[in-house]
Amino acid sequence: MRNLKLLKSFRSSELLGPGSPQCLALRADTGSLLAASQYSIVEYDPRTGQVVSEASLTAQGFLPGDGSGLVVGLEDLAELESACLATAGGDVVLFNLNTCQLECVGSVDSGLTSMSWSPDEELVVLTTGQETIIMMTKDFEPITEVGIHQDDFGEGKFITVGWGKKETQFHGSEGKQAAQRKIQEVQPAAAWDGGRPRVTWRGDGQLFAVSSICLHTGARRVRVWNREGVLQATSEAIDGLEEALCWKPSGSLIASTRRHPNKHSVVFLEKNGLLHGDFTLPLGRDRAKVKDLLWNSDSSVLAVWLEDMAAGEDKRVSTCIQLWVVGNYHWYLKQSLDFGRDPQKAPACVCWDPESPLRLQVVTRGWSSITYDWGWTTERSP
């Protein structure tokens, strides 16, 4: 059986800045980290402990000076030698990594709730405060703007006839009643749901998925769009669906999480919006909330970022990152990183290295960066 072994880890605490990190990106060509907070954006080399470049987001008015601002997206654009960030206030800003200059390339009056670039960096998707999706080219030329919430299923509705229909699928322990649940039985999203849309791209950049809160039910729903901005499919009504969303880079499944009456699980959806498998997290239904799900670049490991919902006497909560691997259609928990209850040591941003599939990068709320290098080992029975 293959196991994950920690080959080395490296912690650097020289990255000090005001506020807390809100978004993280990696420069694949240099290995440096890009981190944005409610005050500034910084490029940092964890190997040398040196700040490579930095710019204030408050001094130029992109974020308010009182620290109430929010960066909702950050992306390294290698071709432009720049980082692109989006603010909740509605600005899309380029940070030139050579000159350290900031340039506003567009603004949305209703504000922005997320920004996500296609894997080939040719397209960018923005979600707005008016519940719309704006798609633009890499040169920030608008392609289309559509509402997130659509009444139509999408172009792929023919896929759901015959064996693709929910009623004809195998339902396991839930029984056939699962196929007959009414939409009105779907409960609204949990109180701790951030409410913002989540966007994730398929590895080939041909499709992207958006998880958003339905205006009618208050529950989350996933919609799949093509790179022309045309709706392809809408997920079924899934009670307990949560905000975490990550498309497997190899393209087969979209991962999310779901609370059942008696368990908490990671669930998988196909591109037609139907559920296709799950695995149960080893904790109670209301024990923890899933902050995020992150596939590594070769689709071999799924990271589950968890935060304990039960605060201790000091009102602090613990956080951990679990690493899961699938084999013979069964999911195995291979590693768990515990960050304790100190809020300054808790992860603020987590991402996999795009070039080194088994390298995990974490930046804590206290501005420490931690690099974990994992390796595969094979254990054979005697």
Q: What is the pLDDT of residues 9-64, one digit of tens each?
A: 999 987 777 899 999 999 988 999 999 999 999 999 988 889 999 999 999 999 99
DSSP, collapsed to helix, strand or coil, labels residue 178 as: helix
Q: How confident is the model at residue 310 (pLDDT cuts 50, 70, 90)?
A: confident
Q: Which domain holds residue 8?
A: 1-16+289-381
pLDDT of residue 180: 52
Q: CA nearest 145: which of 195, 93, 110?
A: 110
DSSP, collapsed to helix, strand or coil, labels residue 290 as: strand
Distance CA 219, CA 198 (A): 14
Decide if 25 contacts 351 (C-beta within 8 A): yes
Distance CA 60, CA 102 (A): 8
When the pLDDT of each residue in the chain is averaged and rounded to a whole number, the result is 91
Q: Does 342 fall in a domain?
A: yes
Decide if 265 contacts 278 (C-beta within 8 A): yes
**25 compared with 314, residue with greater pLDDT:** 25
What is the value of pTM for the model shown?
0.91
pLDDT of residue 382: 64
Mean pLDDT of all residues in 247-260: 95
Q: Does 368 fall in a domain?
A: yes
Question: How crowded is residue 182: how many other Cβ atoms within 10 Å of its Cβ?
Answer: 7
Encode pLDDT of 258-301 as tens digits. 999 889 999 999 999 999 999 999 987 678 999 999 999 999 99
Provide the number of structural domains found in the chain: 1
Encoded amino acid at 309, one letter: M
Distance CA 313, CA 302 (A): 32
pLDDT of residue 171: 56
Q: Does 258 fall in a domain?
A: no
Q: How confident is the model at residue 161 (pLDDT cuts 50, 70, 90)?
A: very low
Q: Does 162 fall in a domain?
A: no
pLDDT of residue 379: 80
Share of the chain above pLDDT 90, in %: 78
pLDDT of residue 181: 47
Q: How confident is the model at residue 154 (pLDDT cuts 50, 70, 90)?
A: confident
